[in-house]
Chain A
């Protein structure tokens, strides 16, 4: 209080000057029509600019929250898609019962076997021959080895190691990766790999040369693995070469995922993974 009084006493001339100017200016804009109009418009303009900047700042600070909402929405839609796809497969594979009506062979087919765990890339590489991605989810989030990873654009990689809070995955840009793939709309199966050269392109191997492929054909997951369900986008056929003496096409595939911009990702958890693992262990 003493300081305030001291400040007022020391600067009363300045404060008086500012006060009188403020009163004069208020009178000017309040009692003169043209000044009032110009001033009101100016204030309105400034206020709307401040509000615009404020709204931008707000939206910037709420970006994380918005991203989270979008990611949740994506998960919900992807779950629906997986369920619809499973239902469609069950519908296609119906068989007649004793009375001749078409019924599902197995009612469990109508449910998708995959669950989705949202995650974010903490770091990733694209310059090595064995590129990897570190994810912000680990054992405590239910992540296990050999879970598939997809981005909003398509297949991104497979988990190879898991710690309590983080997990490590090899991306599609890893020379060790093999993903079972097929050409959409055709019964052509192959294995998707990466040759370690261009990060935009992968290779579809083991497609016999008697199959005819076109540039632009979609390459999707085959569903013949526990990493990915059937129909996940991998990329598009860029070029086909049939000069290999081994009898297989040399197919260059443009990858749908941009590996320079990995951010929000989804882990796919195959529900029957444990059962299949134990089966494989017993018969090894």
Chain B
């Protein structure tokens, strides 16, 4: 069941990103929001790490095939997959290591979800725009900051709508 749900999310986010969010860039002002980062970050922690890495890479490379430059999303997605493992160790809620392996992100408090999500969005944007521009200029930093804010805004809405379990 978990795999099926994950598989569906995979394609839904891919399609949404390409057909909807990539068109939401306000040329010259805001880059497109990368809402699929929410899917990458909030993927179930129960997944095997290797499966998770490969699915992130596959998502990235498929997206790259649709929106250039080829390879940038794949790199940033795998990077964020690795960073998620480190970051959750640092900000984990009051649970044991065993409990952390099966932790359901949807059941956690909204503030913790944001604490977990937003720094990783920033890292994703940073990694992606450095690779896309292949430089670290003021323009790149502007894109990273605006991209983070824009993406975080959509991710907050999506979290409230789809990643909150009622009664928790």
The verdict on B42 contacting chain A, using a C-beta distance below 8 Å, is no
Q: By the criterion CB–CB under 8 Å, are B71 and A24 in contact? A: yes
Binary contact readout A13-42 vs B (1 if CB under 8 angstroms, 0 otherwise): 100110011011111110110110011000
Provide the residues of chain A in CB contact with B75, threshold 8 Å: 21, 24-25, 28
Provide the residues of chain A in CB contact with B72, threshold 8 Å: 24, 28
**Closest-CB distance, B69 to chain A (whole angstroms):** 4
User: Which residue on chain A has the smallest CB distance to residue B52?
Assistant: A13
Interface residues of chain B: helix, strand, loop or mixed (majority)? helix
Number of interface residues of B (CB under 8 A): 22
Once the chains are docked, how many angstroms separate the CA of A13 from the CA of B70? 24
Give chain A interface residues in 69-118, CB to chain B under 8 Å: none
Provide the residues of chain B in CB contact with A20, threshold 8 Å: 53-54, 57, 74, 78
Once the chains are docked, how many angstroms separate the CA of A13 from the CA of B53? 8
Once the chains are docked, how many angstroms separate the CA of A24 from the CA of B71? 5
**Closest-CB distance, A27 to chain B (whole angstroms):** 4
Once the chains are docked, how many angstroms separate the CA of A31 from the CA of B71? 8
Interface residues of chain A: helix, strand, loop or mixed (majority)? helix
Q: By the criterion CB–CB under 8 Å, are A25 and B134 in contact? A: no
The verdict on B131 contacting chain A, using a C-beta distance below 8 Å, is yes
User: Which residue on chain A has the smallest CB distance to residue B70?
Assistant: A31
The verdict on B50 contacting chain A, using a C-beta distance below 8 Å, is yes
Partner of B50, one of A16, A29, A38: A16
Give chain B interface residues in 41-67, CB to chain A under 8 Å: 49-50, 53-54, 57, 60-61, 64
The verdict on B15 contacting chain A, using a C-beta distance below 8 Å, is no
- Name which of A21, A24, A29, A35 has the most chain B CB atoms within 10 A of its CB: A24
Number of interface residues of A (CB under 8 A): 19
The verdict on A224 contacting chain B, using a C-beta distance below 8 Å, is no
The verdict on A12 contacting chain B, using a C-beta distance below 8 Å, is yes
Q: By the criterion CB–CB under 8 Å, are B71 and A17 in contact? A: no
Provide the residues of chain A in CB contact with B68, threshold 8 Å: 32
Provide the residues of chain A in CB contact with B78, threshold 8 Å: 17, 20-21, 24
Give chain B interface residues in 75-104, CB to chain A under 8 Å: 75, 78-79, 81-82
**Closest-CB distance, A165 to chain B (whole angstroms):** 62
The verdict on B135 contacting chain A, using a C-beta distance below 8 Å, is yes
Q: By the criterion CB–CB under 8 Å, are B53 and A16 in contact? A: yes
Once the chains are docked, how many angstroms separate the CA of A191 from the CA of B98? 97
Partner of B79, one of A21, A29, A31, A39: A21
User: Which residue on chain A has the smallest CB distance to residue B60?
Assistant: A24
User: Which residue on chain B has the smallest CB distance to residue A14?
Assistant: B82
Q: By the criterion CB–CB under 8 Å, are A27 and B50 in contact? A: no
Given known contacts A13-B50, A16-B53, A21-B79, A27 and B135 CB-to-CB distance under 8 angstroms: no
Provide the residues of chain A in CB contact with B49, threshold 8 Å: 13
A-B contact pairs, 29 of them (CB 8 A): A13-B49, A13-B50, A13-B53, A16-B54, A17-B53, A17-B78, A17-B81, A17-B82, A20-B53, A20-B74, A21-B78, A21-B79, A23-B74, A24-B57, A24-B60, A24-B75, A25-B71, A27-B61, A27-B64, A27-B70, A28-B71, A28-B131, A32-B69, A32-B70, A34-B69, A34-B134, A35-B69, A35-B134, A38-B135
B residues engaging A (CB < 8 A)? 49-50, 53-54, 57, 60-61, 64, 68-72, 74-75, 78-79, 81-82, 131, 134-135
A residues engaging B (CB < 8 A)? 12-13, 16-17, 20-21, 23-29, 31-32, 34-35, 38-39
